């Protein structure tokens, strides 16, 4: 695996791949790699060309009160994971490479509407930070394919919208969430949970599945389903932020004849905020 920390370094290598007519697949990460990231890399490998991974903990997507400084940084272990997965190129930029003018003066990219609902309500800075860094990474790497996990469902939808709106020449692919045996979605933030919190955390996925079952049975009183789900979460010892039934493609409110849903949820366990979702098709 080649490790590069400069934009020119990445460009040179990707130019070589392109001259050989290879399909370049790209997996952006913030490190602390787990089996969820490995699933993204395995998907990238399926395109039979070089796989580029970036590792950059992006300060722009964290608010002042969030966990930028404590976000788990496990570079040596991450490098070993990437070597083992036979990744071709690791882009490991420092902050001054990504934001040479400083965070304040960086040109920002913002997806309206989609970026300000659901996660965007509680984390108003978040999607602008994500789309700004992903835009810059896309321009640096210039991959054919970019792979994202569907655990961050709204992020995946927002990035697809950005790519569409800005006519970016990259195909965005989503990969299903990888879970622990008890259903908890893998996330770097799971490491913040105490043993007691870890025991109750799978209630989020169970609750989302309960809502999904109701939708499959044809229940269409969405507000009531969401309300009951939040009550179930509270009973299980989680503090719900939201449970929301949305249209899968654009996260808009579904009408009564909807058949393609995603049920999204966010909860607090102490200071830790977990998100998850379940896709549902109720077509008969």
Nearest to ligand PAF of 133, 238 (CB atom): 133
Task: Out of 29, 128, 154, 214, point to the residue binding ligand PAF (CB under 6 A).
Answer: 29
What are the DSSP calls for the chain, one per residue? -EEE-SHHHHHHHHHHHHHTTPPPEEEEE-S---HHHHHHHHHHHTTSS-EEEEE---GGGS-TTSSTTTS---HHHHHHHHHHTT-SEEE---HHHH-TT-TTTS-----TTGGGSTHHHH-TTHHHHHHHHHHHHHHHH--SEEEEETTSHHHHHHHHHHHHHTT-S-EEEEEPPPB-TTSPBP-GGGGG--HHHHHHTTHHHHHHHHHHHHHHTT---HHHHHHHHHHHHHHTT-EEEEEEEEETTT-PPP-TT--EEEEEEEEEETTEEEEEEEEEE---
| Least Å from the CB of residue 255 to ligand PAF | 30
For ligand PAF, which stretch binds (CB under 6 A), given 14-22, 26-34, 66-74, 191-199?
26-34
Pick one of 88, 119, 152, 226: the residue that binds ligand PAF (CB under 6 A).
Answer: 152
Smallest separation, CB 91 to ligand PAF (Å): 11
Residue range at the interface with ligand PAF (CB under 6 A); choices 23-31, 171-179, 195-203, 242-250: 23-31
Selected from 13, 47, 51, 58, the binder of ligand PAF by CB under 6 A is: 58
In the complex, the smallest distance separating the C-beta of residue 61 from ligand PAF, rounded to whole angstroms, is 6
Q: Between residues 147 and 229, which has the closer beta carbon with respect to ligand PAF?
A: 147
For ligand PAF, the closer CB: 37 or 246: 37
Q: Does 28 bind ligand PAF (CB under 6 A)?
A: yes
Active site annotation includes 37: yes
44: contact with ligand PAF by CB under 6 A: no
Among residues 34, 37, 105, 125, which one is catalytic? 37
Q: Using the rule CB under 6 A, is 134 a contact of ligand PAF?
A: yes
The answer to whether 85 touches 46, Cβ cutoff 8 Å, is no
Contact 32, 76 (CB under 8 A): no
> In the set 13, 81, 92, 130, which binds ligand PAF (CB under 6 A)?
130
Exactly one of 4, 14, 24, 30 binds ligand PAF (CB under 6 A); that residue is 30
When asked if residue 135 is in the footprint of ligand PAF (CB under 6 A), the reply is no
131 in contact with ligand PAF (CB under 6 A): no
Per the listing, tokens 């979605």 go with 185
- If the CB atoms of residues 28 and 202 are measured against ligand PAF, the closer one turns out to be 28
* Sequence-distant (≥ 6) Cβ neighbours of residue 2 within 8 angstroms: 13, 88, 89, 90
Nearest CB to ligand PAF, comparing residues 128 and 207? 128
Q: Which residues bind ligand PAF (CB under 6 A)?
A: 28-30, 58, 61, 130, 133-134, 152, 155
Residues serving a catalytic function are 37
């Amino acid at each position: 695996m080649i490790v590069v920390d400069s934009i020119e370094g990445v460009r040179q290598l990707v130019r070589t791949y392109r001259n050989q007519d290879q399909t370049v697949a790209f997996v952006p990460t913030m490190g602390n790699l787990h089996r969820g990231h490995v699933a993204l890399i395995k998907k990238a490998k399926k395109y039979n060309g070089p796989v580029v991974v970036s590792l950059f903990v992006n300060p722009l997507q964290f608010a002042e009160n969030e966990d930028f400084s404590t976000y788990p940084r496990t570079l040596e272990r991450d490098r070993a994971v990437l070597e083992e997965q036979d990744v071709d190129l690791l882009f490991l930029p420092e902050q001054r490479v990504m934001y040479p003018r400083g965070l304040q003066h960086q040109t920002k990219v913002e997806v309206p509407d989609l970026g300000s609902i659901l996660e965007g309500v509680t984390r108003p800075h978040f999607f602008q930070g994500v789309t700004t860094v992903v835009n810059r990474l896309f321009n640096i790497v210039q991959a054919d394919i970019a792979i994202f996990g569907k655990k961050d469902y709204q992020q995946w939808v927002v990035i697809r919208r950005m790519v569409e709106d800005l006519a970016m020449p990259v195909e965005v692919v989503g990969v299903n969430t990888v879970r622990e045996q008890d259903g908890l979605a893998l996330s770097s933030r799971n490491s913040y949970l105490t043993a007691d919190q870890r025991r109750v955390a799978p209630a989020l996925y169970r609750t989302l599945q309960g809502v999904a079952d109701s939708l499959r049975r044809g229940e269409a009183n969405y507000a009531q389903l969401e309300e009951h789900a939040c009550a179930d979460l509270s009973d299980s010892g989680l503090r719900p932020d939201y449970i929301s039934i949305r249209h899968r493609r654009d996260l808009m409110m579904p009408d009564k004849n909807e058949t393609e849903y995603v049920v999204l949820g966010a909860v607090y366990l102490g200071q830790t905020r977990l998100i998850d979702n379940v896709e549902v098709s109720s077509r008969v």
